[in-house]
């Protein structure tokens, strides 16, 4: 199932768009709480994030997404950025 809203191709950011229906499905599954800290989140304030990043083979589906509060989403993005940076530093250079 593809969850992208219709956006002109040149303006599309892969994985950046989900429908309101899918957002509501994710929020209802989590009881309208942040998946990381449990803080209450609303449809307008939630940040939707892939559990397994697409770049690592994760799917852009409701089952692979969770809703986070702003603070937890920011923390998660920093952790992922640091992990990718360390990983690229550890890869053998040709």
| Per-residue pLDDT tens digits for 75-90 | 998 888 887 778 776 6
Position 94 confidence tier, pLDDT thresholds 50, 70, 90: low
Q: Each residue of 22-48: b (16+ CB within 10 Å) or e?
A: bbebbbeebebebbbeeeebeeeebbb
> Structural domain boundaries of the chain?
9-90
User: Could you tell me which CATH number the domain at 9-90 has?
Assistant: 3.40.1800.10
Q: Which two tokens stand for residue 12?
A: 């599309």
- Integer Cα distance of 37 and 72 in angstroms: 7
pLDDT digits (tens, 9 = 90+) for 24-48: 999 999 999 999 999 999 999 999 9
């Amino acid at each position: 199932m593809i969850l992208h809203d219709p956006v002109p191709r040149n303006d599309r950011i892969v994985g950046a768009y989900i429908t309101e229906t899918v957002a509501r499905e994710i929020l209802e599954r989590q009881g309208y709480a942040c998946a990381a800290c449990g803080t209450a989140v609303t449809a307008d304030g939630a940040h939707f994030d892939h559990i397994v990043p697409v770049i690592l083979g994760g799917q852009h589906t409701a089952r692979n997404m969770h809703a986070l509060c702003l603070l937890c989403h920011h923390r998660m993005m920093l952790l992922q950025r640091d992990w990718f940076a360390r990983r690229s530093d550890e890869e053998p250079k040709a």
